[in-house]
Amino acid sequence: MTELSLCAIGLGSNLGDSSQILMGAIDRLRTHSQIEIISVSSWYLTAPIGPPQPDYLNGCATIRTSLAPLDLLSTLHSIESEFGRVRQEIWGARTLDLDLLLYDNLIIDLPTLQIPHPRMLERAFILVPLAEIAPDAIEPKSGESIATLCNKLEYSGIQLLP
């Protein structure tokens, strides 16, 4: 039997029907033969970072997978492409953004992949939904729980969707 790794993924969208796109991405992950969805957070309306653009819908999911980190990243990029993601501008508007946040307790620093996600500790739009579904998960660089890290941030600009 293949060993499964526990991972966290951030999801975001601010172009098109974002709620439909995010649910479609979850469904697409759910149907992948090497991915098992454990939990999905609520969706949060958040202000964008970067150039002027619409607000985002953001959330997180925890999964188990037999995919290696780079293979999982490739799968996430393929799903983004299926939903019309075009990479033109850093931090620009997008139909779908899937970020690999955590992969077990690994620390990876490659040109194409950094785990834990390099800016997750600064971003309430990642930590708030992740704390909802995995408060006790440990961020491997700091050694602190997601809940503890979330409590260190100001997150008044995040609105839970009903």
Name the residues annotated as catalytic: 85, 94, 97, 99
- Report d(CA 100, CA 9) in Å as an integer: 5
Residue labelled with tokens 């037999």 = 66
User: Degrees (nearest 5) of the Cα angle 19, 162, 40?
Assistant: 60
Find out whether the peptide bond into 54 is cis, omega within 30 degrees of 0. no
- Residue 97: CB atoms within 10 Å: 21
